[in-house]
Amino acid sequence: MNIKVIVAIVVLAAGLMLGVMNFMESNVEYADFNTAEQSGRKVQVKGVWMKDLESGFNAEKAQFTFYMKDDNQRIMKVVLEGAKPNNFELAESVVAKGRHESDHFHATEVLTKCPSKYEGDAEAVKNTL
Amino acid sequence: MTAGILGALFVKGAFLAALGSAFFYYRGSRNHHAIVPLARMSFHAAVIGLMSAAAILLYLILTNQFQYAYVWNYSSTDLPLPLLISTFYAGQEGSFTLWALYTALIGVFLMQYSMKREYEPEVMSVYSLILSFLLLMLIVKNPFEFIWDRFPDDLIRTGPIPAGVGLYVLLDDARSVWAQYPAEGKGLNPLLQNYWMVIHPQILFVGFSAMAVPYANAVAGLMRRDYTSWIRVATPWLVFGAMILGLGIILGGYWAYETLGWGGFWGWDPVENSSLVPWLLCVATIHTTLVQRKNGAYLRTNFALSILTFLAVLYSTFLTRSGVLGETSVHSFVDPGMWVYWLLLGCIVLFTAIGFGYLWVRSREMPLQPVQHSIFSREFALFLGAFALFFMAIFVTIGTSSPIITTIAKGKASAVEMSYYVKTNLPLGVIVAFLSGLGQLLWWKHSSGGSVLRSMMPSLGVAAAGTALLAVFATEEPAILLLAFCAVFSLVANAQVGYGIYAGNPKFIGGSVAHIGIALLFLGFISSERYDEQKTLTLEKGIPVQALGYEMTYKGYVPVDRDRYGFLVEMKKNGKIHTVAPTMYYSDFTKGLMRHPDLKNLLTRDVYVAPLSLEEPTSGRREQALELMKGEEGTAGDLKIRFRDFGDVDRTAMIEGREFSISAKLRVLESKSVKPKDVTVTILGSQSGMKPVPATLTTTDGKSYELILDRIMPDREDPSRSKVALKVVLPEDPSVPARGETLVVEASIKPMINLVWMGTVTLVVGFLLTIVRRIQEARQIGPSTES
């Protein structure tokens, strides 16, 4: 076989391998607080914001702290690097991305899952009559 | 009411006309030339129908007709005209309308263009088919749906109409069925209330629409077994698509930078990626077609890439419009329902089948042109560059599809981190940057190593010097250094080649100019993303803070634009003062706090200030609450407070509505003193309400307490169990800092971000010059000379 073709195939295979490895590595797995605590790895945890428990923004550290209950009903303090996410009050559930630290879950990102547009609409349409 | 029904009819009519046009054009391409005028008429009918429907939709929006679900969903009466216009494409129905409209309008030009090049029946049959699918989407997702059809349970009633129901319409007079409809809309998402949104989606959709043309040209080429000259016909459109879509992408990035407060212009978001992938493929196609023009190679590659570019548009639309991405992105993707999902999927399958099916059938009879070029040839550089762009597109597509892939593999959707895109695209970016310089210096067929090296000397030298400076003054990863090196190399090489071309034949300078634009973009990415300094600042009102080389002071807030507030931050450096006003406001639409950054664009940098939160002033004095029964004693700070009894109340004054007071008698004992003091705290009552009067108490050691009667809780059955609620403001405690109103912001410096905007303008100019040249070329050569 042509040497050029072989080189091309090798380069291609290496590139694809790197791509696949990258893909696996950067795909943050879903977990609950228990597994997050045990593994200590970066995971994403889905849950609901405990509105009754304290939450607030620490201006000095620029961190937003709140309490979140995961699907196993475990409540955990979550410290987010940054301000309160948009739509936080409206969210029916939130997803925190980060890792467990000694007494809290340290999140680098919190995504909010908002009620499907059309569920809220029937209510909204009555309000605008 | 009739306007909407008419609009829906126009859409259906346009769909039938477009479908008819596709069929008639197809017959026309099978040697039934007589039918071509009919096909043209059908196409024009489709265009007019669609334009009428779009005009009606715009009319409904401008006149606030909230009996239409779409208008109600995205508009409201308080929007100014430009924003009202942009509600046209705020939702799916409207943006599909816009896409279809631009596809139709481009089709009018395409018809004229391909008529002159004798390519009309084939090209237009494919193109009409594409248009008819977009129109089918508008039938499924009707922008003219009445609001009571969407919420029948809430709005449709039977029986007599009660007085004062507001707006209503009689649906069935005989059975007295009627429907209520809103007088106000839900309003436009505040993120879209921005002048960039008036222009940016339009440009993107023109780009998306233009991507259908190379597909139509490629399939047309396959239909008539023309494997070479179709490229000349398609090239101006490829370049046009790349130019418009590229501009749209960067404008979208600027919107994210300026409005969303991402802190950068690129976030590898699915919506951004979905326009990047077709652009990458389109640019790759432009480069591989250059090789085929020169030596006839890559016949199949060019067909495949042209087809793939359009399929990427469809796949992107599927990803961002079908709801498959769910909640894995910062954009919220509305689930449009099963019909749209299957229709989009059907579209992908159909156009893949047509494109690649034809290619597969024809590829067996295509001449096999052996690729004869050395490694030192422009062909090879073009091939490698296109290959790298193609792989970028693949990696970005895989990343964006991650929620789908992980759902299939693991059962739960998850998105990839941004780092995935950076790691996969950085090495490919280095290759692209290097080749965009090298390719210009190489000759076609073969270049001798020596001559290439000689011509590379100046650019290599400048690049090496620049990179060395960077390596000395900034600790940097090798990959970034390499990218910087290649970008500078490409910049100088293209300037050198461009100058040479300008001296010879200025018409051909487009390529060099576009590559200079790309090199500037690369350098802008590096400087603004890698060398940005970021700091979270806590700015107390009026107190300057030194950060990022500026003296920053929060000066308070001022109202801007309706009910929004701008938070003024003054930045002082070398005696010059700039003020930025990032905004924060509560939005009824999103039921949350909205934050918009503000920036100061300077020649060498942007100073970017994103608001995080506003903290209320704290006095440094803490409050303590006490609830005491008669005779009971409580402690607050150094004080022991006993509630002795209520004071007398002037009941006649209370009943007659004159001013009266309620009071409580307290006996206060300092811990360091033996002599108690008697203090009376009161609440003054009048018609305007109850107001407590604080009593100040200074202790022997000079500390100041404030006693406030908060509430009285008399117990009628057992007066001795009556209670009072007190608030005691404790003296200033040095451990609790007093603080005024405080603004928390994230400030950052983006060095040389102007390179990005400069690069964009240069790139667009380069594309424009190329389009002019390629249109002239397509005109000169014509189809009949080669096919």
Query: Do B269 and B309 fall within a single domain?
Result: yes
- Whole-angstrom CA distances from B99 to B4, B105, B654 are 20, 10, 71
Instruction: Tell me the chain B residues in contact with residue A98 when contact means C-beta distances shorter than 8 Å.
Output: none
Q: Is the ipTM of this complex over 0.85?
A: no
Nearest-Cα residue of chain B relative to residue A114: B332
User: Residues of chain B with pLDDT > 70: what percent?
Assistant: 95
In a domain, B591, yes or no: yes
pLDDT score at B737: 64
Residue B350 lies in a domain: yes
Which of B414, B404, B405 is closest to B324 using CA atoms? B404
Cα gap B71→A102, rounded to integer Å? 51
Closest-CA distance, A110 to chain B, in angstroms, reads: 10
User: From the centroid of its chain, how far is CA B242?
Assistant: 19
Q: Provide the domain count of chain B.
A: 5
Whole-angstrom distance, CA of residue B435 vs CA of residue B642:
87
- B342: in domain: yes
pLDDT band at B781 (very low <50, low <70, confident <90, very high): low
Ramachandran assignment for B159, one of left (phi > 0), alpha (psi -120 to 50 degrees), beta (any other): left
Pairing status of strand B623-629 against strand B564-573: unpaired
Domain A32-127 class?
mainly beta
Answer whether A26 sits within 8 Å of B417, measured CB to CB: yes
CB contact under 8 A, B182 and A83: no
Calculate ∠ Cα B54-B58-B61, nearest 5°: 140
Name the helix (H) or strand (E) containing B142. Answer: none
Task: List the single range of B164-173, B521-530, B741-750 with lowest mean pLDDT.
Answer: B164-173
Q: Is the pLDDT of residue B786 over 50?
A: no
Q: Which of residues 50-89 of A touch B (CB under 8 A)?
A: 57, 59-60, 62, 82-84, 86-89
Q: What is the pLDDT of residues B136-147, one digit of tens each?
A: 999 998 999 999
Helices (H), B509-576: 510-525
Inter-residue contact A94 to A68 (CB < 8 Å): yes
Q: Identify whether residues B317 and B205 lie together within a single domain.
A: yes
Q: Which contacts qualify for B20-23: CB closer than 8 Å, 24 or more apart?
A: B21/B45, B21/B46, B21/B124, B21/B125, B21/B128, B21/B132, B22/B125, B22/B126, B22/B128, B22/B129, B22/B132, B23/B125
Kindly write down the DSSP assignment for every residue of B413-460, as one continuous string.
Answer: --PBPHHHHHHHHHHHHHHHHHHHHHHHHSPSS---HHHHHHHHHHHH
pLDDT tens-place string over residues B300-334? 999 999 999 999 999 998 888 877 776 565 555 55
**What is d(CA B120, CA B26) in angstroms, rounded to the nearest whole number?**
10
The verdict on a CB contact (< 8 Å) between B595 and A116 is: no
Identify which of B774, B784, B753, B636 has the alpha carbon closest to the alpha carbon of residue B232: B774
* Residue B616: closest C-alpha in chain A: A59
Which tens digit of pLDDT belongs to each residue from B13-36?
999 999 999 999 999 998 888 999
Summarize the confidence of residues B722-748 as an average pLDDT: 80
Angstroms from A68 CA to nearest CA on chain B? 18
Average pLDDT of chain B, as a whole number: 87
Q: Name the residue with higher pLDDT: A96 or B311.
A: B311
**HEC profile of B155-219:** HEEECCCCCCCCCEEEEECCCCEEEECCCCCCCCCHHHCCHHHHHHHHHHHHHHHHCHHHHHHHH
Interface test with A, best of B612, B618, B739 (most A CBs within 10 A): B612
- Res A69 pLDDT > 50: yes
Minimum mean pLDDT range among A51-65, B22-36, B58-72, B210-224: A51-65
B227 in the same domain as B92? no
10 Å CB burial of residue B158 (0-12, 13-18, 19+) is exposed
Evaluate whether residue B5 is within a structural domain.
Answer: yes
Q: Do B197 and B107 share a structural domain?
A: no
Partner-chain residue, chosen from A59, A86, A114, that has the shortest CB–CB distance to B615: A59
Output the domain CATH number for residue B674: 2.60.98
Whole-number pLDDT of residue B329: 56
On chain A, the residues whose CB falls within 8 A of the CB of B420 are 22-23, 25-27
Sign of CA dihedral B103, B106, B107, B108: positive
pLDDT per position as a tens digit, B350-381: 999 999 999 999 998 888 777 666 777 888 88
Render pLDDT for B537-556 as a digit per residue (tens, 0 to 9).
Answer: 888 888 899 988 899 999 98
Residue-level pLDDT at B784 = 43
Q: What are phi and psi of B422, to 5 degrees?
A: -65, -45
Question: CA-CA distance, A81 to B442, in Å (whole number)?
Answer: 50
The pLDDT value recorded for residue B771 is 93
Collect all residues of chain B within an 8 Å Cβ-Cβ radius of residue A27: 402, 406, 414-417, 420
CA dist B29 and B222 (Å) reads: 12
Please tell me the predicted confidence (pLDDT) of residue B334.
59
Q: Say how far apart CA B34 and CA B622 lie, in whole Å.
A: 92
Q: What DSSP string describes B72-104?
A: HHH--TT--HHHHHHGGGTSHHHHHHHHHHHHH
Please judge whether B66 and A128 are an interchain contact, meaning their C-beta atoms are less than 8 angstroms apart: yes
B753 vs B527: CA distance, rounded Å: 7
Q: Which residues of B455-473 are buried (b: 16+ CB within 10 A; e: fewer)?
A: bbeebbebbeebbeebeee
Q: Is the pLDDT of residue B588 over 90?
A: no
Question: Does any domain span residue B530?
Answer: no
Mean pLDDT of B149-157: 85
Same domain (yes/no): B689, B647: yes
DSSP readout, B352-410? HHHHHHHHHHHHTTS--------TTSHHHHHHHHHHHHHHHHHHHHHHHTHHHHHHHHH
Residue whose tokens read 């080429």: B221
Q: What is the token pair recorded at B527?
A: 């400087």
* Same-domain pairing of B218 and B86: no
A15 neighbourhood in chain B, CB within 8 Å: 391
Q: In sequence order, what are the beta bridge partners of B705?
A: B697
Provide, rounded to the nearest whole percent, the portion of chain A with pLDDT above 90: 11
Band (B112; pLDDT cuts 50, 70, 90): very high
Last residue of a domain, one of B343, B367, B391: B367
Residue B494 lies in a domain: no
Helix, strand or coil for residue A28? coil
Task: Note whether B75 and B203 are same-domain residues.
Answer: no
Q: How many angstroms separate the CA atoms of B384 and B352, rounded?
A: 25
- Residue B416 phi, psi dihedral angles, 5° rounding: -85, 155
* Residue of B67, B78, B154 best to disrupt the A interface, most CBs of A under 10 A: B154
Does the beta-carbon distance from A57 to B613 stay under 8 Å?
yes
Please state the rounded mean pLDDT for residues B262-270: 80
How much is the pLDDT for B397? 94
Question: Taking CB atoms and an 8 Å limit, are A114 and B332 in contact across chains?
Answer: yes
Are B524 and B753 within 8 A, CB to CB? yes
Question: Is the pLDDT score of B787 beyond 50?
Answer: no
Of B180, B391, B414, Cβ closest to residue A29 = B414
SS3 B316: helix
**The pLDDT of residue B280:** 97
pLDDT at B406: 84
The Cα–Cα gap between B74 and B86 comes to 10
Highest mean pLDDT among A105-114, B113-122, B471-480: B113-122
> What's the confidence (pLDDT) of residue B619?
67
On whether both B238 and B277 belong to a single domain, the answer is yes
What residue numbers bound the domain in which B105 lies?
1-146
- For residue B278, what are the contacts with CB-CB under 8 A and spacing of at least 6? B207, B208, B211, B245, B309, B310, B312, B313, B316
Domain ranges (residues) in chain A: 1-28, 32-127
The three-class DSSP label of residue B675 is coil
The answer to whether residue A35 scores a pLDDT higher than 60 is: yes
Give the span between the Cα atoms of B287 and B639, in whole angstroms: 85
> Same structural domain for residues B167 and B268?
no
* pLDDT of res. B486: 93
How many CB atoms are located within 10 Å of the residue B520 CB?
Answer: 24
Of residues B217, B295, B235, B229, the one with CA closest to residue B782: B229
d(CA B6, CA B12): 10
